[in-house]
Amino acid sequence: MINLENLTATEAEALAYSEGFPGTARQFARIADLQRALGQAVAALEEIAYHVTEKHRPGAAKEALATIDDIVNLWEIER
Task: Give residues with Cβ within 8 angstroms of 34, minimum separation 6.
Answer: 72
pLDDT of 31-78, one tens digit each?
A: 998 888 888 888 888 888 888 888 888 788 788 788 777 777 765 555
* CB contact set of 41 (below 8 Å; sequence gap of 6+): 64, 68
Its domain, for residue 46, covers 4-78
Average pLDDT over residues 18-24: 95
Question: Rounded to two decimals, what is the model's pTM?
Answer: 0.66
**Which range has the worst mean pLDDT, 2-11, 22-31, 50-59?**
50-59
Domain count across the chain: 1
Higher pLDDT, 15 or 62: 15
pLDDT of residue 36: 86
Determine how many CB atoms are found less than 10 A away from the CB of residue 29. 20
